[in-house]
Amino acid sequence: MCERQALRPSIMAKLDILTYPDPRLHTVAKPVAVVDDRIRKLVADMAETMYEAPGIGLAATQVDVHEQVVVIDISETRDELQVFINPEIVWSSNTRKVAEEGCLSVPEVYDRVERPDHVRVRALNEKGEPFEIEAGDLLAVCIQHEMDHLKGKVFVEYLSPLKLQRIKSKLVKLHKRERTRM
């Protein structure tokens, strides 16, 4: 079972989150060779970024680090951080569920995506220890969503071409509006 604790090192940095359709979001992440202090600092920085955004999950790809690292906290109290390094889905249910998803890299956009409703994941925690976890409901959706980022895929790419074009147009307008405010 994954340790569920908040990482709160004394020196953390909020990271910049890439916004769709930034091409860097399509970079496939490489496995982490060794879980060391650099990776633990990345985990802490990603957790701070996710909590401040606010979000419930963040993949390293979203902060322009192309290594297989994911942080998730679906708890109401925001104190049950789960870390997945080199995550691998080892089993997924045949039953599927449609759930509404959003993404820190696709601000103000929510839509329904169909995914397996249960998964079993093998990964390393922030100490480099292997674990397996079976997840359903929101956690299963979140794990699959974040693992898609590690493969260079953003949730809106599951939608129809027409919806995808509308989302791209909306985000381009949002970026222009933000630039004119600066």
**158 closest CA partner among 150, 173, 148:** 148
Task: Tell me if residue 146 is catalytic.
Answer: yes
Q: Was 118 annotated as part of a binding site?
A: no
Please check if 66 is assigned to a binding site: no
Out of 67, 134, 146, 178, pick the active-site residue: 146
Residue 2 labeled ligand binder:
no
Amino acid at 61: T
Instruction: For the chain, count helices (H), then strands (E).
Output: 3, 7
Annotated binding-site residues read 103, 145, 149
**Binding site for Fe cation: residue ranges?**
103, 145, 149
Catalytically active residues are 146
